[in-house]
Amino acid sequence: MKVVRSTCNYCSIACNFDFHVDDNGFIERVKPSEDYPVNKGFCCVKGLNLDKQNTLYENPVLPLLRRADGELEHISWDKAFNIFAEKVKNIQNKYGKESFAFLSTGQLLSEEMALAGHIGRTFLGGNGDGNTRLCMATAVVAYKQSFGFDAPPYTLDDLEHSDVMIFIGCNPIVAHPILWSRVTKNKNKNKKVIVIDPRKSETVARSDMWIDIKPKSDIRLLYTLANVLIEKGWIDEEFINSSTEDFEGFKNHVKKYDINDVEEYTGISKGRVLELAEIIHNGERVSFWWTMGVNQGFQAVRTAQAVINLALMTGNIGKPGTGANSITGQCNAMGSRLFSNTTGLYGGGEYSDVNRRKAVADALNIEESLLPKKPTIPYNEIVEGINKGKIKALWVLATNPLVSWINDLEFKEAAKKLEFLAVQDIYSDTETARYAHLILPSTNGLKKQGVIINTERRLSKVQPVLEKKKDELTDYDIMLGIGKALGMGELLDKWKTPKDAFEILKECSKGMPCDITGVDYDALNGSKGIQWPCREGEKINEEQRRLFEDKKFFTPNKKAKFIYEEIMNPPYEINEEYPYILNTGRATVGQWHTQTRTREISDVEAIIVKGGYINLNTDLAEELDIKENDVVRVSSPNGIKNSFLVKLSRTVKKNHLYAPMHYIEANSILPSVFDTYSKEPNYKYTPVKIEKIKGDNHEKN
């Protein structure tokens, strides 16, 4: 019996587990690591069942090629690599470099997404984006503009130190249960948990105060709250003067958001806003936490910065139990943000920065001219480019956009139009793979090696728990094979192994806020992980470190910026035809994204609804003569009509609906609306209408 420690590759908490493996290569026990500072012996049902991957639904070992008759046939890896290279090169020769694109995910390891960026951007010159655009792009842009770098400032321990925790548009009990366990460990008898959310979520049910705002009125509430705090003098003037800029501009901006108007726009009374302001003022350690309810909106970046502004003006940053803290979604979205070579150079630099270009080129041992000249076009423009005939070849890595993309039938149309679609995944039967010309089956995380960077900037190691079978390849192996077939030659000399790739990333990070030059790759094995920055020669004694304790930020003048803007109206307003508001989000702790992995967890499958459904308020249901388990048709301004099973609930208000995102029905009725700056999709707000369907057939697209 051997015990292998590795990292969970589901969500951004990145728990560690000790896998007990017998001599026959069978995992007998999956035990959450008691001494790991992230989960401390706890875990959720997803992590506890990591050994279930590819058991009920096995992945083929060899690649699959779609024949002219539409059937799939097994081919060798060498043939698959050569087909990939030939198809992409022929398409680029005919239509130009940017006729090729790729879509990846925060489910990949840092070394893998770095290699994908090296192949797809540096060598092929195409565009490439990923699931980070669907969840964290808003936080990335907000932090970069406000702090000068994409830098979540907190450590999970801050949840145990806060006496006031304000959760805005997030439901950690379901989405991040290990993070929520830190709230329950907070021993402060006077602590207050406040949740700002239009829906009575599981987290709301465990809170001390629910700010039940109207959908997408959060930015107005936050601006009004800021105005109240300023008018009452409940701000940290010393911190504002020494460590921020443009507070006067922000102060003048929020003056127009009068507390006497707040209830009309947000549904929150003047008295409750004053109460919230007083709680913040009296709190010694106030922390602000947000995730998809903020990020996935049509004015998302400015809303996130409204949260950041509150932390700055009250001096609640850089100290234990404080911070403007975005909770990351996928396990390695932070790795994607820093090291994918898509929206910025490796290490978080700008493509236009001459010094960074030289440093990265030297680290990669390539000519500087080979580096991309500009950021990738975003996900929505890639899908649009396919549908307009500009992009002809697409490489999809470890993601399932036909379900997860907003207005996802647009992606379905795109998949049909592609001359070449290659899908690389641990399952060959995803909705996206059904349209693939070439399927590249990869091993799951139990057979990989690499580094994940979690929501609090902690690097942790994924170790091979099981040995690969004959002909099985990891994502990194597949990418190397593709690179060689493309003729990259010496451009792959420094990328022979994941460890080699990590050493490149270390070099690229040198001197940057995310400097990891002091991280020893092998020393991460079985360790407690380490947060960036970790500079070469730097001695670090603390397991938990937060940023900005010196009150200095990453901007040229070391000051954080107050950033603000006029409030936008929703792109689509409710009206007589579409009188209700639809919101989407997670359903249960056990379900993950498009359910390709969690469908193998029997305890989860036993309790979940098997198709798309909506939560409907009981009063509205009575008014519309709709009962539990009836089927209704829901349609939106994008012209799509989908049927949903009805689950009655008091967690949504009378004119609101809530649809779990895990089902294709939910995302396909959402119009293609994106934040101005982050280009993150607006998953959280669209007007809809409901029509009752006779009979009990649950229609599907």
- Give the residue among 149, 257, 121, 140 at the shortest CA–CA distance from 566: 257
> Apex CA 245: angle with CA 240 and CA 247, to 5°?
65
| Beta strands at 686-692 and 631-635: parallel, antiparallel or unpaired | antiparallel
Residues 6+ apart with CB under 8 A from 520: none
State both tokens at 440. Answer: 């590249």
Question: Does 533 sit behind a cis peptide bond, omega within 30 degrees of 0 on the bond before it?
Answer: yes
With the CA atoms of 381, 396, 597 and 615 taken in that order, what torsion angle do they form, in degrees rounded to the nearest 10? 20
Distance CA 263, CA 265 (A): 5
| Beta strands at 631-635 and 656-660: parallel, antiparallel or unpaired | unpaired
Amino acid at 153: P
What CATH number belongs to 580-692?
Answer: 2.40.40.20
- Give the residue among 307, 310, 288, 309 at the shortest CA–CA distance from 297: 307
Work out the burial of residue 4: count CB atoms within 10 Å of its CB; fewer than 13 is exposed, 13-18 middle, 19 or more buried: middle
- Give the residue among 646, 626, 344 at the shortest CA–CA distance from 509: 344
Q: What 3-state class would DSSP assign to 51?
A: helix
pLDDT at 701: 41
pLDDT at 697: 46
A 10 A CB-CB count for 269 gives 12
**Class of the CATH-defined domain 139-326:** alpha beta
> Apex CA 388: angle with CA 386 and CA 391, to 5°?
35
Residue bearing tokens 């992409």 = 88
Its sign, for the CA torsion 115, 119, 123, 127, is negative
Distance CA 446, CA 466 (A): 6
Residue bearing tokens 């099985």 = 472
What CATH number belongs to 76-135+331-513?
Answer: 3.40.50.740
With the CA atoms of 404, 408, 413 and 417 taken in that order, what torsion angle do they form, in degrees rounded to the nearest 10? -30
Domains 139-326 and 580-692 share a fold: no
Residue bearing tokens 């397991």 = 543
Please report, for residues 120, 354, 378, 390, 668, the alpha-carbon distance to residue 131 in angstroms, rounded to integers and kept in the order given.
16, 28, 11, 22, 17
Domain extent listing, the chain: 76-135+331-513, 139-326, 580-692
Element holding 635 (H helix, E strand):
strand 631-635
pTM: 0.96
Distance CA 313, CA 226 (A): 8
Residues 6+ apart with CB under 8 A from 370: 122, 123, 361, 491
Q: What residues form DSSP beta bridges with 100?
A: 393
State both tokens at 661. Answer: 């995102």
State both tokens at 353. Answer: 């920065």
Distance CA 354, CA 348 (A): 14
State both tokens at 237. Answer: 């003037």
**Cα 446 to chain centroid, rounded:** 22
Regions of the chain with pLDDT less than 50:
695, 697-701
Residue bearing tokens 């270009």 = 357
Distance CA 126, CA 137 (A): 20
pLDDT at 487: 98
> Apex CA 17: angle with CA 13 and CA 20, to 5°?
165
pLDDT at 694: 64
Distance CA 450, CA 607 (A): 34
Element holding 248 (H helix, E strand):
helix 247-254
Q: What DSSP character marks residue 545?
A: -
Return phi, psi of residue 279, to 5°: -60, -45
Distance CA 689, CA 701 (A): 18
Distance CA 105, CA 89 (A): 24
Distance CA 126, CA 381 (A): 13
Residues 6+ apart with CB under 8 A from 542: none
Q: What DSSP character marks residue 505?
A: H
Distance CA 394, CA 382 (A): 9
pLDDT at 699: 43
Distance CA 138, CA 303 (A): 9
Contact between residue 26 and residue 5 where contact means Cβ atoms under 8 Å apart: no
**Cα 457 to chain centroid, rounded:** 14
pLDDT at 541: 86
Residues 6+ apart with CB under 8 A from 572: 578, 636, 637, 671, 673, 686, 687
Distance CA 481, CA 237 (A): 58
- Give the residue among 596, 120, 594, 661 at the shortest CA–CA distance from 401: 594
With the CA atoms of 308, 312, 318 and 322 taken in that order, what torsion angle do they form, in degrees rounded to the nearest 10? -70
Contact between residue 549 and residue 319 where contact means Cβ atoms under 8 Å apart: yes
